[in-house]
Structure 1
Amino acid sequence: MSGSLELAGVGVSFDGFVAVDGVTMSVRPGELRFLIGPNGAGKTTLVDAITGLVPATGSVTFGGHELVGRKVHRIARLGVGRTFQTASVFEELSVLQNLDIAAGAGRGPLTMLRRRSAVPAAVAEALEVVGLADLRDRQAGVLAHGQKQWLEIGMLLVQDARVLLLDEPVAGMSAHEREETGQLLRRIGADRTVVVVEHDMDFMRSFATSVTVLHAGKVLSEGTVAQVQADPRVQEVYLGRASEGAR
């Protein structure tokens, strides 16, 4: 399906240790796929493989392009974007400046030096989508934790990322920020392919449309939230402990 992220037999090894072991997964636009599992299950490493940060075997395709073996920046240019557990924004610059820099990733050095006379449409739209329009002139470094995560998502939107891979986006957030983030993911995921690495099971239950459970680098279970929660294997290795307070 056009716009789908397709993984087939993806593997990652470090000095003989198999971190990701033959993962096959298909994520369509419009679904919020949550990737869960115990610590060390290979979730972040799998995202690293998709985005070119670690060498991988197997196949990862998006939009008809093979991603395995491509450089990180070339994968990003194909519309695949990611966030990290700690938001990487330019803290000394304003919200607007952060978005403008991200939007200028495809502009030449001469146009980057010129001050823009108006806010580009893509930047203005991203400000509205992530809920930071009223804070456009606020220095990014003084934003609340959740707002920094929203800004980082906005920076992917202005680059026209069609695949968003979000690594624990609600870690450390208040209940209100988690709810706002979930609503944001629904908005941006309506016509994009979104994968969320997450430990917060309450957040997953509230917003996931589909779930993939990793264990020891392999896909243990996959399906709806209800299907995954009912899987005895998942209860044994993960959800039983998660429901006791693991986040």
Structure 2
Amino acid sequence: MNADYLELDDVRVTFDGFKAVDGVTMTVLQGDLRFLIGPNGAGKTTLVDAVTGLAPATGSIRFGRDELVGRKVHRIARLGIGRTFQTSSVFEQLTVLQNLDIAAGAGRGPLTMLRARLGVPPAVEAALETIGLAGQRDQLAGVLAHGQKRWLEIGMLLVQDARVLLLDEPVAGMSADERIRTGELLQRVGAERTVIVVEHDMDFMRSFATSVTVLHAGKVLSEGTVAEVQADPRVQEVYLGPGSKVQA
């Protein structure tokens, strides 16, 4: 089994001469709930696209012993790299349980998929408990609250045994209570996995980030704890604003 860490070395993504990601080097370890922040156009989502194979990159992106650069999207996913997008992608006409069961079957062959399922797979039961939707297992995903849909997406990654989770603005549009519950979910999930959160909500970051990487113009501007990053004059200048102060 691979060591659970994600290591990027001099990663670059260029579109028609524009350097969207310009030499990013960073390492994220298991248990490190890493937040990726920066102004619009900093390259955050493009960097996630590079890790998951959606954007052609140069340099090196390694998960344990496996090099991801140059691999197809589905092969990267099979290595345990999972992601969510800015918009929800659950199957709204199916139940919570059916969504998780389909995700759990993503790696099964056609003959296995045709076979009747006897009971609920243990991985699906565990995911229902982890994401807090055990009581909604038979509800249609389309009637779930916004936050619950985002939790279901995370559950769908868990049943696929994703070891790296890349989450793009997971709390956008959530209520204050949903943000807190999402942060607690990420802490539970991140204790045993490598998690990177692309986020604009600074209060959410301050509450839950273990460490922070700040991108600006495709480069790493600053990296460290929340306090270290907020105290960095360069971060205050380009992102947080000159009047920004470190908050507990």
For residue 178 of structure 2, what is the amino acid of its counterpart?
E
- Structure 1 residue 242: deviation in Å? 10
User: Which residue is 2:36 aligned to?
Assistant: 35
Asked whether the 8 Å contact 2:21–2:218 carries over to 1, the reply is: yes
Runs of 4+ aligned residues of structure 1 deviating over 3 Å after TM superposition are 241-244
Residue-by-residue CA offset, 1:99-128 (whole Å, 9 max, x unaligned): 000000111112212331200000000000
Aligned counterpart, 1:136: 137
Aligned residues: 244
Distance 1:141 1:46 in 2: 30
C-alpha root-mean-square deviation of aligned residues, in Å? 1.4
SS for the counterpart of 1:152 is helix
User: Does residue 64 of structure 1 match 2:65?
Assistant: yes
For the pair 1:80 / 2:74, whether they are aligned, the reply is: no
AA aligned opposite 1:119: V
Within-5 A mapping of 1:168-207:
168-207=169-208
In structure 2, the gaps of 5 or more residues are: none
TM-score, length of structure 1 as denominator length? 0.97
The offset of 1:29, in angstroms, is: 0.2
Secondary structure of the 2:116 match is coil
**TM-score normalised over the length of structure 2:** 0.96
Deviation of 1:241 (Å): 7.7
Equivalent-residue separation in structure 1 for 2:44 and 2:243 (angstroms)? 16
Q: CA offset at residue 188 of structure 1?
A: 0.3
Equivalent pair of 1:8/1:25 in contact (CA under 8 Å):
yes
Name 2:218's counterpart in structure 1.
217
- In 2, Cα distance between the equivalents of 1:205 and 1:166? 17
- Secondary structure at the aligned position of 1:48 is classed as helix
Partner of 1:157: 158
- Give SS of 2:77's match: helix
What is the alpha-carbon distance in structure 2 between the residues aligned to residue 242 and residue 2 of structure 1?
41
Question: Letter of the aligned partner of 1:199 in structure 2?
Answer: H
Task: Report percent identity of matched pairs.
Answer: 80
The one-letter code sitting in structure 2 at the alignment partner of 1:67 is L
Map of 1:23 onto structure 2:
24
